[in-house]
Amino acid sequence: MRIVVQDAPFDFGAEAEAFASGRHDMGAIVTFTGVVRDFGNGGLDAMEIEHYPGMTQKALEAIAAEAVTRWSLGDVLVIHRYGRMEPGEKIMMVATAAPHRKDAFEAAEYLMDYLKSRAPFWKKEHATTGETSWVAAKDEDEDALTRW
Amino acid sequence: MNVLYFAWVRERIGIPKETVTTDAETVADLVAELRAREDRYDLAFSDLSALRVAVDQELTDFDASIKGAREVAFFPPMTGG
């Protein structure tokens, strides 16, 4: 299990390859990466992500540890950035390794659902007009937790 | 104890962190003390349903005890991922 919280960009391809390599008993590797999405009209200048140093690492470790108890997993990777990112930049990634794909897919979805609403990150959008706004949590993100 | 504020709670109160001396027994008691201080606190805490709280870096609720706690943090619902 590897949990990384950093401001620097990460190399998604290299991380995914390193995570998938050298495993002989894991038949399934699932990866997900979240990307800064523009409003659709080129209006987003940047996304700024604030976090709670001290709590973030522990919260992510607890979420990953819970996933390991619920599914048959060989390994889990979570990388989550904070700071300023431009549209197209990767914000975070999760990877799961499991003997079978069902466990790998479900665990990856569980990790995503929980780190959306239970890991102490807050997103702020900076529009090209100079306006800023905090991204509001969605009810559907909270509802997503009830399925687990 | 240290009281921390994040995201718009930090912006509304105007500081990221402060040291508070209090006899408050629960988070809700601490919130009541803070609200009584100044308008900016009263405004930030006016709708508790829009806020989340962590005591010693663990998510909890407003009824939670803060006896012996070192750190209480207030913030809006999280938007990770």
The pLDDT of residue A66:
97
Residue A34: phi and psi, rounded to 5, are -100, 135
Class of B2-75 in CATH:
alpha beta
Q: Specify the pLDDT at position A39.
A: 81
- Give the Cα separation of B76 and B54 in Å (integer): 11
Question: What's the pLDDT at A42?
Answer: 83
Cα-to-chain-centroid distance, residue A88: 15
Question: Residue B7: which of A34, A118, A122 has the nearest Cβ?
Answer: A122
How wide is the angle at C-alpha A11 spanned by C-alphas A6 and A14, nearest 5°?
Answer: 125
Asked if the Cβ–Cβ distance from A124 to B7 is below 8 Å, we say: yes
**First vs last C-alpha separation in chain B:** 30
3-class DSSP state of A141: helix
Contacts of B79 in chain A (CB under 8 A): 116-117, 121-123, 134-137
CATH superfamily membership of A2-147 = Molybdopterin biosynthesis MoaE subunit (3.90.1170.40)
According to the model, what pLDDT value does residue A90 have? 98
User: In order along chain A (148 residues), what is the average pLDDT of each group of 10 residues?
Assistant: 98 98 96 93 94 96 97 98 98 98 98 96 97 94 90
Q: Which residue matches tokens 């979240």?
A: A34
The residue extents of the domains of chain B are 2-75
Find the residue in A nearest to B16 (Cα).
A52
Indicate whether this complex's ipTM tops 0.85.
Answer: yes
Q: What percent of chain B has pLDDT over 70?
A: 100
The closest of B69, B61, B56 to B23, measured between CA atoms, is B69
Q: Is B59 on the interface with A (CB under 8 A)?
A: yes
Q: Is the pLDDT of residue B2 over 90?
A: yes
